[in-house]
């Protein structure tokens, strides 16, 4: 075990997989010589050679379409989209091609690709460096969507994603790269150092896609969160003293529905937290699932705490980003309802 | 026949990385004045030499030479010099402001000022520029208020964009400056659509759009090119080739296989390749393409060859990926120094006048920065919170109204 930040854990996963499997190769904008704008691939080109980890032209559509072609040939490309906000030029490739290749060819062709993209807010990135586009992918049949919240999970889930034979969108909460940010931007930033889930094995291991993690057991109310919001929710629980059960979904597709229903059936209350805009957000799906499966156990309306339905506003970042205070307010409403 | 040797994957490598000697030997170009200037209505097929040449007007000795010299008035040249110098001083001041925590982000255009300033002076009122984030010089040449820029950069209550955008992503419709966004390339097609609309309405306006060398790889660049070609859109489509796209050299966008100007050939669009650090050449090429567009002969692709002297942005350290003395080895010089030498050579300028101008502009920038700081730097005194919910739609829908209340912005 070594202590790693999330970005180090991601780097380690890529390193392990390049070492292990000659069919794994990494490419994207500025990922080669430079090692990526967040340094996820630092040194990998020098270590494994230019054909294993290389720069691409500035074209997200080109990156994903060539990855699909390589995947269909038999390789396992792991591509980086510099910011999730910039994945949209590749959206057609992901939705119309990667997601359907297997289905439409009757299983003859498939795209075992992993698309990594830093996502989410909290870094003063404004409209085009802060988005949370997960619902654009969870809505598409044929895509898997993964969002880690800790260094340990980031590495284990990324290795599992790379070994998947289906296309995986791997969204990395960039505000968590260097520390477990809990929404308290008024306090000094904390590093991962000393955090239990920053203890990461140096070698190969997997965290299965489709399994949620209970980050804090509780009886009063269930909180469903992922990415940075897991830490914000834990902070809200700590500050409010409410005995909430905080579930880190980790995997949006496939979803660990059993852990969710077991928890809500126990608590009878549910708060859903995400940074993305509320309307048609992933919270809407979670809310519908909980309502369909736990209806007779629910004692209060399901509460959503989310980003507002506006583009991500630069100067209003901390009014937009769900705060521990807003989450705690949501918990109280769920307890009153 | 099957291949005798197994295939191997080609990965382009730049000429020099940190620790190596800067090497611009890949950039060959003719003497100033040597490139011919066909009539602007010449069919594209008769001009296929131009994308491989380099249009240059300013010679080593500061004289303006050759067929592309437009004999611009000293007044225009003085305005160009002032705007370029103002841009550079403003960039330096705001970059420092970032180091002091007064803004969240900044990007400089150092070394590339001519590519923004000359088009600004050459276009007519009513034309629209679809800029990149490295083109504040366009606004400087039109006397846009420095206060607006500073307030936008500080995202304070005076920000005309109301705190919604990253620093630099200005919008100034009255000044012929289309709204910027952080995603690169996506507005290239807007310029073509704007130009088509002008033609549709039988107006006489043209559009001028810019992307960086790196951004030519985006699909949006190619889509715009084919529409411009098919509809003879009255547009000037420009590639600012500053040799780098963050850490990726221009060869990563295909610049080693052919020139960016030569991308026009496949679309049947004339391609001009221009010394981007020669403000007279940039001006002349813009006028040529504008003349062609206004005569209903359609679009031109222009490559401005220049160099990104600064890092990509305030988050970037270019010494990690290119030799730190590369800017000093750049063979096309500095646009401000070259124009200054020209004005001195023709007896229209002096070192003393130059120093006085620099002092005046430095003071102007300092005063604007101070006023902006007084109104509020990043995080202090933003626009009223409820404005976060405005302009999502023309009229707010029930969600905007409910969430405005829920966020506490109404109280
Ligand atoms: C669609 C999209 N993808 C990626 C980025 C991240 N990015 C910002 S600027 C840049 C490089 C642009 O290089 P170039 O087009 O040469 O312009 P320059 O910065 O040199 O002026 C990249 C990759 C982006 N802004 N938008
Ligand atoms: Mg560039």
For residue A165, the 8-state DSSP code is: S
The predicted model gives A174-197 an average pLDDT of 97
Question: Which helix (H) or strand (E) covers residue A12, if one does?
Answer: helix A6-20
Q: Rounded to an integer, what distance in angstroms lies between the CA atom of residue A211 and that of residue B111?
A: 53
Q: Rounded to an integer, what distance in angstroms lies between the CA atom of residue B272 and that of residue B266?
A: 14
The tokens describing A194, both together, are 């000393």
Name the pLDDT band for B211 (thresholds 50, 70, 90): very high
Is the pLDDT at A280 greater than 80, yes or no? yes
Question: What is the model's pLDDT at position A337?
Answer: 78
Is the pLDDT at A106 greater than 80, yes or no? yes
Positions of A annotated as catalytic residues are: 129
- Helix residue ranges per DSSP H, B66-177: 74-99, 113-122, 136-140, 146-154
The tokens describing A199, both together, are 């203890």
Question: Distance, CA B9 to ligand 2 centroid (Å)?
Answer: 25
**A248: which strand partners?**
A213, A225
The residue ranges of DSSP E strands in chain A, in sequence order, are: 2-3, 24-28, 53-55, 76-80, 114-119, 144-146, 168-173, 199-200, 213-216, 221-225, 244-248, 251-253, 270-277, 303-307
Residues with CB under 5 A from ligand 2 (ion): B 212-214, 242, 245
Residue nearest to atom 6 of ligand 1 (CA): A82
Q: Rounded to an integer, what distance in angstroms lies between the CA atom of residue A154 and that of residue A177?
A: 10
In chain B, residues with a C-beta closer than 8 Å to the C-beta of A329 are none
Cis peptide before B204 (omega within 30 of 0): no
A183 in Cβ contact with A233 (< 8 Å): no
Taking the alpha carbons of A175, B218, B84, B125 in that order, is the dihedral positive or negative?
negative
Q: What are phi and psi of A3, to 5 degrees?
A: -80, 130
Is the pLDDT at B350 greater than 90, yes or no? yes
A212 in Cβ contact with A147 (< 8 Å): no
Q: Rounded to an integer, what distance in angstroms lies between the CA atom of residue A40 and that of residue A17?
A: 14
Question: What is the model's pLDDT at position B38?
Answer: 98
The tokens describing B104, both together, are 């969240």
Is the pLDDT at B1 greater than 80, yes or no? no
pLDDT, tens digit, 9 for 90 and up, residues B137-165? 999 999 999 999 999 999 999 999 999 99
Domains of chain A: 2-200 (3.40.50.970), 213-336 (3.40.50.920)
Percent of the residues in chain A that have a pLDDT greater than 90, as a whole number: 100
b/e A123-137 (16+ beta carbons within 10 angstroms → b): ebbbbbbbbbbbbbb
Q: What are phi and psi of A259, to 5 degrees?
A: -65, -40
Question: Distance, CA B306 to ligand 2 centroid (Å)?
Answer: 9
Q: Rounded to an integer, what distance in angstroms lies between the CA atom of residue A167 and that of residue A114?
A: 6
Q: Which of residues 335-394 of B touch A (CB under 8 A)?
A: 378, 382-383, 385, 388-389, 392
Q: Shortest Cα distance from A262 to chain B (angstroms)?
A: 31
Is the pLDDT at A290 greater than 80, yes or no? yes
Model confidence pTM above 0.95: yes
Name the pLDDT band for B3 (thresholds 50, 70, 90): confident
Q: How crowded is residue B295: how many other Cβ atoms within 10 Å of its Cβ?
A: 11
CB contact under 8 A, A278 and B399: yes
The tokens describing B98, both together, are 């970032």
Name the pLDDT band for A115 (thresholds 50, 70, 90): very high
Report which ligand 1 atom has the smallest distance to the Cα of A29: 23
Question: What is the model's pLDDT at position A30?
Answer: 98
Question: What is the model's pLDDT at position B155?
Answer: 97
Q: What is the DSSP string of A195-255?
A: -GGGEE-SS-----TT--EEEE--SSEEEEE-THHHHHHHHHHHHHT--EEEEE--EEETT
Name the pLDDT band for B86 (thresholds 50, 70, 90): very high
Any residues with CB less than 8 A from the CB of B266 and at least 6 apart, and which?
A: none
Q: How crowded is residue B42: how many other Cβ atoms within 10 Å of its Cβ?
A: 14
The predicted model gives B96-122 an average pLDDT of 98
Question: What is the model's pLDDT at position A196?
Answer: 95
Report which ligand 1 atom has the smallest distance to the Cα of B216: 15
Name the pLDDT band for B288 (thresholds 50, 70, 90): very high
In chain A, residues with a C-beta closer than 8 Å to the C-beta of B399 are 278-279, 309
The predicted model gives A150-168 an average pLDDT of 98
The predicted model gives B212-221 an average pLDDT of 98
Name the pLDDT band for A85 (thresholds 50, 70, 90): very high
Is the pLDDT at A188 greater than 90, yes or no? yes
Name the pLDDT band for B30 (thresholds 50, 70, 90): very high
Q: Which of A331, A12, A49, A310 is nearest to A155 (CA)?
A: A12
CB contact under 8 A, B245 and A58: yes
Burial of B97 (0-12, 13-18, 19+ CB in 10 A): buried
Domains of chain B: 45-380 (3.40.50.970), 382-411 (no CATH)
The tokens describing A152, both together, are 């340990």
pLDDT, tens digit, 9 for 90 and up, residues B373-410? 999 999 999 999 999 999 999 999 999 999 999 999 98
B279 in Cβ contact with B339 (< 8 Å): yes
Question: What is the model's pLDDT at position B242?
Answer: 98
Q: Which of A143, A167, A144, A147 is nearest to A157 (CA)?
A: A147
pLDDT, tens digit, 9 for 90 and up, residues B37-62? 999 999 999 999 999 999 999 999 99
The rounded mean pLDDT for chain B is 97
Question: Which helix (H) or strand (E) covers residue A290, if one does?
Answer: helix A282-294
Query: What residue in A sits closest to B392 (Cα-Cα)?
Result: A310
Question: What is the model's pLDDT at position B315?
Answer: 95
CB contact under 8 A, B219 and A89: yes
**B236: which strand partners?**
B208, B300
Is the pLDDT at B75 greater than 90, yes or no? yes
Question: What is the model's pLDDT at position B326?
Answer: 98
């Amino acid at each position: 075990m070594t202590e790693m930040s999330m970005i180090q854990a991601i780097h380690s996963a890529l390193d392990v997989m390049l070492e292990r499997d000659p069919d794994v190769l990494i490419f994207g904008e500025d990922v080669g010589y430079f090692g990526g704008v967040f340094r996820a691939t630092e040194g990998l080109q020098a270590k494994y050679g230019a054909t294993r980890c290389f720069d691409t032209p500035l074209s997200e559509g080109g990156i994903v379409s060539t990855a699909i072609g390589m995947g269909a040939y038999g390789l396992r490309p792991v591509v980086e989209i510099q910011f999730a906000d910039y994945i949209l030029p590749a959206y057609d490739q992901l939705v119309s091609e990667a997601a359907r290749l297997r289905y439409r060819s009757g299983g003859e062709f498939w795209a075992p690709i992993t698309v990594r993209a830093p996502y989410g807010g909290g870094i003063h990135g404004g409209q085009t460096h802060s988005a949370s586009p997960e619902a654009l992918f969870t809505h598409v049949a044929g895509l898997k969507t993964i969002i880690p919240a800790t260094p340990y999970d980031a590495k284990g889930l990324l290795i599992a994603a790379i070994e998947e034979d289906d296309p995986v969108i791997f969204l990395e909460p960039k505000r968590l790269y260097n520390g477990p940010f809990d929404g308290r931007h008024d306090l000094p930033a904390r590093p991962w150092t000393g955090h239990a889930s920053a203890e990461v094995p140096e070698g190969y291991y997997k965290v299965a896609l489709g399994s949620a993690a209970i980050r804090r057991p509780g009886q009063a109310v269930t909180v469903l969160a992922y990415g940075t919001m897991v830490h914000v929710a834990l902070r809200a629980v700590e500050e409010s003293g409410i005995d909430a059960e905080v579930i880190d979904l980790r995997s949006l597709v496939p979803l660990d529905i059993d852990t969710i229903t077991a928890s809500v059936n126990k608590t009878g209350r549910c708060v859903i937290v995400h940074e993305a805009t509320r309307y048609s957000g992933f919270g809407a799906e979670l809310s519908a699932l909980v309502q369909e499966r736990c209806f007779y156990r629910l004692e209060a309306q399901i509460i959503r705490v989310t980003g507002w339905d506006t583009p991500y506003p630069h100067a209003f970042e901390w009014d937009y980003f769900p705060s521990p205070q807003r989450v705690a307010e949501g918990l109280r409403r769920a307890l009153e309802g | 026949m099957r291949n005798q040797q197994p295939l191997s994957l080609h990965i382009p490598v730049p000429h020099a990385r940190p620790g190596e000697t800067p090497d611009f030997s890949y950039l060959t170009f003719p003497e100033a004045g040597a490139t011919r200037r066909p009539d602007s209505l010449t069919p594209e097929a008769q001009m296929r030499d131009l994308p491989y040449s380099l249009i240059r007007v300013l010679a080593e000795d500061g004289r303006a030479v050759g067929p592309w010299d437009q004999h611009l008035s000293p007044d225009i040249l003085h305005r160009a010099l002032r705007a370029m110098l103002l841009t550079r001083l403003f960039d330096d001041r705001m970059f420092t402001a970032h180091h002091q925590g007064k803004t969240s982000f900044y990007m400089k255009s150092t070394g590339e000022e001519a590519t923004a300033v000359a088009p600004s002076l050459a276009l007519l009122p009513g034309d629209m520029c679809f800029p990149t984030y490295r083109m504040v010089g366009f606004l400087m040449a039109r006397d846009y208020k420095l206060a607006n820029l500073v307030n936008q950069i500080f995202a304070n209550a005076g920000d005309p964009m109301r705190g919604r955008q990253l620093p630099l992503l200005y919008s100034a419709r009255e000044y012929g400056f289309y709204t910027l966004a952080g995603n690169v390339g996506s507005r290239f097609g807007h310029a073509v659509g704007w130009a088509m609309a002008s033609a549709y309405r039988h107006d006489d306006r043209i559009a001028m759009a810019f992307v960086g060398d790196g951004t030519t790889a985006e699909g949006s660049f190619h889509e715009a090119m084919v529409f411009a070609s098919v509809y003879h859109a009255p547009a000037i489509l420009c590639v600012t080739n500053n040799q780098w796209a963050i850490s990726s050299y221009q060869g990563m966008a295909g610049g080693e296989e052919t020139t960016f100007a030569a991308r026009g050939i496949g679309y049947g669009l004339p391609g001009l390749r221009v010394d981007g650090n020669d403000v007279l050449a940039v001006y002349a090429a813009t006028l040529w393409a504008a003349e062609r567009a206004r005569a209903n002969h359609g679009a031109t692709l222009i490559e401005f060859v220049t160099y990104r002297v600064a890092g990509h942005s305030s988050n970037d350290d270019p010494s990690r990926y290119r030799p730190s003395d590369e800017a000093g080895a750049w063979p096309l010089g500095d646009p401000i120094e070259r124009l200054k030498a020209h004005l001195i050579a023709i007896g229209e300028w002096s070192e003393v006048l130059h120093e006085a101008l620099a002092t005046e502009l430095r003071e102007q920038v300092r005063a604007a920065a101070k006023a902006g700081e007084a109104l509020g730097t990043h995080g202090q005194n933003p626009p009223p919170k409820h404005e976060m919910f405005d302009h999502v739609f023309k009229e707010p829908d029930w969600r905007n109204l409910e969430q405005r209340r829920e966020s506490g912005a109404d109280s």
